[in-house]
């Protein structure tokens, strides 16, 4: 591994010239951010009809203060009947957007789905209804109840060649990236109006000559690009010179980086 490459440990890495660079967000931070942004996932339970076989269901969810997914489900639903017979399940969460779906972030949370205790239902109800206002129409039906997934292990895939396990402790203590809500607008704006600047940044910061560039993700420490080159499609991450906390700071640092890169192109 080159000294210019980042790791997911959160520790500082260095460029080939020995200059310290910001670390990448850890996998735990990326998963926590992904799960907080998504609203629909695939819940896989163990089938009662076909013992041992997984049964997939489309599942809206909210999250509690430590990132555990909350479900409002009916006793008549097949996935609920499966859970009542065997609590073991997994939730597959995937980043939306256009482009190659295999290049997008996704995570699988493996654990136990259990009814939420009476003393915690009030908070779960508030969190769920704040995300799904229309759930007021059925939240009080007798056959509906609140359940929560307690993760035991988590597997993260951040795109091509980026993958690894995350522990429950790492996930629950991780913070949501401050650019999480603004990221889609930043990515959309860059891809619509600033492709030449991204091609320039890829050449100067990653040593890649591209004819096309697409920003696929951005966080407080940097961004990912998908590049079309003479050698085929390539991906790279470019780190910011300093941490940013909001979209205005991200815009300013991207402008600064593009201007600084022009004399070096």
User: How many Å from the N-terminal Cα to the C-terminal Cα in the chain?
Assistant: 25
Domains of the chain: 29-173 (2.30.110.10), 179-264 (3.20.180.10)
Helices (H), ranges, 86-238: 118-131, 168-173, 183-193, 195-206
CB 72 within 8 A of CB 129: no
Q: What angle do CA 218, 95, 127 make, to 5 degrees?
A: 100
Tokens 């597997």 identify what position?
A: 155
Q: What pLDDT does residue 22 have?
A: 73
pLDDT of 10 > 90? The answer is no
Report the distance separating Cα 112 and Cα 120, nearest Å: 17
Per cent of the chain over pLDDT 90 is: 80
Q: What pLDDT does residue 88 have?
A: 98
pLDDT of 1 > 70? The answer is no
Span 182-202, average pLDDT: 95
Q: What is the pLDDT of residues 88-140, one digit of tens each?
A: 999 999 987 666 677 778 999 999 999 999 999 999 999 999 999 999 999 99
pLDDT of 225 > 80? The answer is yes
Q: What pLDDT does residue 97 have?
A: 65
Q: What pLDDT does residue 7 have?
A: 44
pLDDT of 28 > 50? The answer is yes
Q: Which of 8, 23, 69, 34 is nearest to 180 (CA)?
A: 34
For the CA atoms of 135, 139, 144, 148, the dihedral, rounded to the nearest 10 degrees, stands at 70
SS3 state at 54: strand
Per cent of the chain over pLDDT 70 is: 90
Q: What is the pLDDT of residues 128-172, one digit of tens each?
A: 999 999 999 999 999 999 999 999 999 999 877 789 999 999 999
Residue 10: phi, psi to the nearest 5?
Answer: 90, 0
Q: What pLDDT does residue 217 have?
A: 87
């Amino acid at each position: 591994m080159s000294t210019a490459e980042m790791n997911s440990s959160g520790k500082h890495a260095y460029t080939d010239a020995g200059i310290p660079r910001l670390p990448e967000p850890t996998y735990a931070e990326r998963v926590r951010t992904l799960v907080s942004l998504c609203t629909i996932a695939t819940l896989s339970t163990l089938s009662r009809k076909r013992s041992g076989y997984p049964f997939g269901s489309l599942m809206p969810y909210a999250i509690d203060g430590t990132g555990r997914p909350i479900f409002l489900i009916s006793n008549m639903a097949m996935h609920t009947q499966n859970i009542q017979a065997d609590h073991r399940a997994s939730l597959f969460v995937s980043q939306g957007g256009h482009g190659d779906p295999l290049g997008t972030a996704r995570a699988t949370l493996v654990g136990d789905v259990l009814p939420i205790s009476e003393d915690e239902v009030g908070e779960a109800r508030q969190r769920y209804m704040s995300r799904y206002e229309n759930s007021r129409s059925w939240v009080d039906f007798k056959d509906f109840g609140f359940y929560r997934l307690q993760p035991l292990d988590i597997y993260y895939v951040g795109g091509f060649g980026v993958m690894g396990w995350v522990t429950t402790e790492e996930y629950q203590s991780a913070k949501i990236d401050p650019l999480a809500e603004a990221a889609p607008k930043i990515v959309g704006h860059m891809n619509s109006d600033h492709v030449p600047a991204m091609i320039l940044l890829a050449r100067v910061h990653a040593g890649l000559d591209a004819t096309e560039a697409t920003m696929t993700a951005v966080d407080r420490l940097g961004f990912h690009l998908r590049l079309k080159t003479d050698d085929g499609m390539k991906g790279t991450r470019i780190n910011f010179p300093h941490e940013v906390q909001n979209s205005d700071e991200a815009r300013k640092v991207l402008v600064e980086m593009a201007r600084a890169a022009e004399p070096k192109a």
